[in-house]
Amino acid sequence: MRVDRTEYEGVALLRLSGEVGFCDAPRLLGFIGDPARLSGDGCIIDFQGVEHVNFHVFELLEEWFSVHPDLLVSGLNDYILDIFAFVRRKDVIPVFSDWRKAYRFFKAENRKLSASSARGLFASC
């Protein structure tokens, strides 16, 4: 597995390529769970360049997401999506066709949160 990390306005983008095996799962979880590596609004894991994923990786991602809901998944081709669907139990990890759509989702959600916080500040005036 190869991981290329980029950050766009507080959203970390992890582009994976190659095969993501069971032995890669701790490394990937360590990467997305390390505050020194990730900061800001959240993380998008893009599977666009992935040829195969061990199903245990998706199980671990689902467990991680239940504690840290700032994770989105993108770029799943039909084969990888079938593996993901086979494992998916809680239907909790948002899946997007490409990382740009996931990024726009993060930004839209943050604007909503910022707007509601601002309304709360001025409600007492």
Tell which wins on pLDDT, 76 or 94.
76
38: left (phi over 0), alpha (psi -120 to 50) or beta: beta
Homologous superfamily of 2-120 in CATH? STAS domain (3.30.750.24)
CB 56 within 8 A of CB 85: no
pLDDT tens, 19-60? 999 999 888 877 776 554 445 668 899 999 999 999 989 888
Question: Could you give the CA distance from residue 114 to residue 57 in angstroms, rounded to a whole number?
Answer: 33
Indicate the SS3 state at residue 16: strand
pTM of the predicted protein model: 0.81
